[in-house]
């Protein structure tokens, strides 16, 4: 790690009437910013974890003036989930990274590879770099604001079926154009943000190219999880950051092909984005999902789907409803070869469970935070798959198609959007989550609130609540 100094950002001495000091600002930073949901025991001088974030802005300048390198390590420690000493606290880490960018932007930009490398040397995930860019563009409190906006707009959306689809499409096009304009203006007008954006896109491009080469050599255990965290081409995160656009231009620059040199800018952008999806992202994601632990042969899941698609050579498509687990099916929802078969397999599985009648009116609390995955996508697929299955087995009028987000401060009851399995998976994966524990009292209050609002009878109430998490 490298700490860059900026003498113009030396902060004045601050006073802490509530906190006691250990005589060392770095120790104060370590001990006074607490892990979520952990209250200080037998020490009235320490605030509860939920209120300790506000001390970051006070403690960080003092710690940085005392020892910049140690402070940088402590910022990374806030995110580190690799051992018992790391606090695994996403929100505190994002707040500290926001401060770091504002006060010492080169330090953050020059250490992105150390912050989100891969495997044992990494304290964070590539997803965290994308999230930092997103919050710098949209505001540090964007996640909280989005939750409030969704809550306020809930009734509005339900009562606006009269709005024509063409009008909604026009509004979406305008929103996309405005979002892109905002990103471009920030990139061109803020050299510090531009430098960080370039370093992040450099790291993504470097890792994706390296992973592609490893895939060609069948070095499966050496492939990183970068392809999972690169924003998909048409995602809301990509529209908000344009990171994928930057990455693809570094992997397939104009000068790399005569074809790219002669086409228009728009045509070039379309071709290389499509090429990134088909030749880089999809093959890498498929490889991580499809190959078994030996890393040498395709797993039986894909072989089964291929056999179903081909009718086992007999021209008939025979689907065994219980042949695959939900998370097995999700890995193939976006596959160009067997994606449609995966969709049919999913529907057959749902229908089979409905006939059993054992899991109707159950709710799932789904942890889809990056920390819960510990760098392994399978954990998220299990949570998403089981959550989606339960949501589709529940009944009207209140629980059908709904899941609860794993968010300790404010768990939310979401109606899963999307027309197919792929879009439904993406919806659940994008739910706001964070923290290492869930407040079940808030979950039960949320269920009771929905039941009262829906005027449900006793037999219509939720029978069981499943919490899917790896923490």
Cα(420)–Cα(439) distance, integer angstroms:
31
The 10s digit of each residue's pLDDT in 79-131 is 886 656 678 788 889 999 999 999 999 999 999 988 886 543 556 778 889 99
Mean pLDDT score of the chain, rounded to an integer?
79
| Percent share of the chain, pLDDT over 70 | 78
**Buried b / exposed e across 168-196, counting CB within 10 Å, b at 16+?**
eeeeeeeeeeebeeebeebbeeeeebeeb
The 10s digit of each residue's pLDDT in 62-88 is 999 999 999 999 998 888 866 566 787
Mean pLDDT value across residues 279-308? 69
pLDDT at 44: 41
Cα(290)–Cα(303) distance, integer angstroms:
9
pLDDT at 122: 59
Element (H, E) at 424: helix 421-429
The 10s digit of each residue's pLDDT in 178-217 is 878 888 999 999 999 999 999 999 999 999 999 999 888 8
> How many CB atoms neighbour CB 285 within 10 A?
18
Question: What letter does residue 298 receive in the DSSP assignment?
Answer: B
Mean pLDDT value across residues 18-30? 82
Lowest mean pLDDT among 97-101, 296-300, 313-317: 313-317
> How many CB atoms neighbour CB 240 within 10 A?
20
The 10s digit of each residue's pLDDT in 35-50 is 554 433 444 444 444 4
CA dist list (Å): 226 to 9, 30, 110, 120, 236? 34, 30, 19, 15, 18
Residues 276, 252: contact at Cβ < 8 Å?
yes
Per-domain boundaries in the chain: 304-468
Question: What letter does residue 280 receive in the DSSP assignment?
Answer: I
Question: What letter does residue 53 receive in the DSSP assignment?
Answer: G
Residue 146 has, within 13 A of its CA and on its CB side, a CA count of 14
Lowest mean pLDDT among 100-114, 246-260, 429-443: 429-443
pLDDT at 283: 87
């Amino acid at each position: 790690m490298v700490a860059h100094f900026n003498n113009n950002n030396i902060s004045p001495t601050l006073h802490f009437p509530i906190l006691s000091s250990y005589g060392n600002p770095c120790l104060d930073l370590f001990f006074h910013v607490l892990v979520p949901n952990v209250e200080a025991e037998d020490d009235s001088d320490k605030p509860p974890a939920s209120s300790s974030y506000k001390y970051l802005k006070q403690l960080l300048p003092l710690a940085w003036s005392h020892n910049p390198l140690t402070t940088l390590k402590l910022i990374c420690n806030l995110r580190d989930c690799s051992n018992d000493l790391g606090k695994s606290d996403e929100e505190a880490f994002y707040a500290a990274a926001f401060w770091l960018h504002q006060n010492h932007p080169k330090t953050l930009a020059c250490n992105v590879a150390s912050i989100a490398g891969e495997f044992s040397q990494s304290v964070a995930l590539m997803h965290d770099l994308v999230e930092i860019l997103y919050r710098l563009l949209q505001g540090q409190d964007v996640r909280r604001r989005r939750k409030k906006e969704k809550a306020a707009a809930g009734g509005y959306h339900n009562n606006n079926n009269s709005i024509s689809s063409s009008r909604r499409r026009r509004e979406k096009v305008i929103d996309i154009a405005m979002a892109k304009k905002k990103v471009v203006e920030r990139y061109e007008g803020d050299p510090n943000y531009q430098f960080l954006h370039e370093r992040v896109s450099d790291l993504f491009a470097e890792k994706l190219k390296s992973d592609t080469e490893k895939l060609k050599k069948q070095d499966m255990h050496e492939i990183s999880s970068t392809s999972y965290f690169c924003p998909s081409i048409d995602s809301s995160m990509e529209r908000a950051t344009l990171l994928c656009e930057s990455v693809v231009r570094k992997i397939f620059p104009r000068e790399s092909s005569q074809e790219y040199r002669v086409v228009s800018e728009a045509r070039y952008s379309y071709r290389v984005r499509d090429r990134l999806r088909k030749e880089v992202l999809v093959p890498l994601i498929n490889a991580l999902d499809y190959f078994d632990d030996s890393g040498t042969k395709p797993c039986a899941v894909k072989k089964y789907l291929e056999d179903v698609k081909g009718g086992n050579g007999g021209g008939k498509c025979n689907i065994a409803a219980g042949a695959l687990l939900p998370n097995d099916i999700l890995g193939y929802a976006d596959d160009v070869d067997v994606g449609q078969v995966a969709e049919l397999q999913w529907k057959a599985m749902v229908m089979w469970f409905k006939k059993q009648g054992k899991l109707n009116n159950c709710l799932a609390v789904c942890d889809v935070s990056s920390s819960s995955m510990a760098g392994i996508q399978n954990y998220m697929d299990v949570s998403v798959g089981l959550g989606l299955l339960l949501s589709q087995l529940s009944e009207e009028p209140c629980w059908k198609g709904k899941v609860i987000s794993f968010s300790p401060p404010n768990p939310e009851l979401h109606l899963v959007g999307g027309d197919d399995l792929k879009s439904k998976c993406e919806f659940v994966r994008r739910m706001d989550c964070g923290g290492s524990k869930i407040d079940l009292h808030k979950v039960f209050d949320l269920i009771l609130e929905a039941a009262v609002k829906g005027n449900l009878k006793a037999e219509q109430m939720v029978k069981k609540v499943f919490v899917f998490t790896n923490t």
